[in-house]
Amino acid sequence: METKALWEKLINKLKKEKLIDQDIIEEYIVTSELIKISNTEFIILVRSNLGVTILNEFKEVFIYEFKSVLSSYVSVEFSTKEIFEKNTKKENKKEPANTVLPENALTFENFIVGSSNKQANLAAKNVVANPGMSFNPLFIYGDSGLGKTHLLQAVKNQAELNGKKVLYLTSEEFTKRIVNALNKGDLSEIEELKTEINSNEFFILDDVQFLSKKDKTNEFFFNIINNFTENGKQLVFSSDKTPELLNGFDKRMITRFNSGLSTPINALDIPTAKLIIEAEIKKQGLKQKITEDAVIYLAQNFSDDVRKIKGLVNRLLFFGIQNDLGHIIDLEDVIDLFKDTPSANLGLLNVKKIKEVVAKKYDVTIKAIDGKARTTAIKNARHLSMYFAKIILNHTSTQIGAEFGGRDHSTVLSAISRIEKLIYKEKEFKKIVESLKNEIIGK
């Protein structure tokens, strides 16, 4: 159907069905022009900004009427002729889309998947493959440094490679653009920004928690969310908290966040952390070889977020510069290199936690456990800590020796053997060991 004939048919239906006041139809609709962007996208050019504001209130009516005529859902936008022409000129000046990503681009291919992030990764891939379907909006939440931004960038890059028009903004950039438009005091600036954002097929917003208590920004944001969901276009958000725990947003916004799919990125588990370390070592080009137990040690003790891992590898690179290419970086090297670095709290997989729990029981210090003193309390605490490092963490005797002041592996084996004999012979000691073990693993 020709656009002019379609527009006339729609106007006649609106007049007949009386879903919009007749004065509004005559003043703002009859005098407007219908522009067809594609088979599923239309823009209605209205004579004034006031008219755009008024007709936006009836957007659902227009979508319903278009569907009744065309038998399919379409995207409908309202704009003035001036704004439409201005945006069209901007589009014509843009460089053609680059189908080749930069070498350092964040993609699904270089996102390391493990048990802590596989759900979020799968959901992100799904919205790229099926935009605007069931997972809309996709809301990814988790602590800083776990890979949320990487996934959002991967969605952006893959969607653009698929030929989609994508807008990616941080919450700071989003707020700044809205404030700048508001400060100009011209309604057309807000409408122009709204039209620009709504013209995209994907809108990706990073760190939405920073929009908390920004009423004007959130009113604008809510309008954008409504437009994208109504027109089957994809929204992707990230936050440091699940939607229910976000403060400073009204109830309707939280409801919108929850209307699609909320999925977490959890704290890194040890296998995933190990994979990320190995990938970062390869990416940064460490010249020396590094032993597997050294990588495992780093994963167990310092890999609570991806940013920290990048810093760890930088230190390894600097260490490598100071050594011959033939030098193999082993467990003792990394223990010495990172001895002053605070370890991450990775729950049961942490020698520091074992030492803390045992030291408290025997009223000694961690420094004493690692030292050379051999009083009964210190010796018991040291040997028991070594025993737990073996049975809970499954560390090798060489690794345990390095973690306890650089002791020989034979000393470690002797200490573990002593504890095993005491457990067998003394029931009270066995109870103490079980109690401490439960405390360490969080039972």
| Cβ-based burial of 281 (10 A; exposed 0-12, middle 13-18, buried ≥19) | buried
H or E element: which one contains 68?
helix 59-70
- In this structure, the dihedral spanned by the alpha carbons of residues 198, 96, 87 and 166, taken in order and rounded to 10 degrees, is 10
The annotation status of 260 as a binding-site residue, yes or no, is no
**Cα pseudo-dihedral 31, 32, 33, 38, rounded to 10:** -160
Do the Cβ atoms of 266 and 368 come closer than 8 Å?
Answer: no
| 102 phi and psi angles, rounded to 5 deg | -60, 160
Question: Long-range CB contacts (< 8 A, 24+ apart) of 430-439?
Answer: 432/361, 433/384, 433/387, 436/357, 436/358, 436/361, 436/384, 436/388, 437/388, 437/391, 437/392, 439/357
Q: State the number of CA atoms in the 13 A half-sphere of 288 facing the CB.
A: 22
255 marked among binding-site residues:
no
Is 145 within any annotated ligand binding site?
yes
Distance CA(27)–CA(25), nearest Å, equals 6
149 is in an annotated binding site: yes
Binding positions = 145, 147-149
Annotated binding site for ATP: 145, 147-149
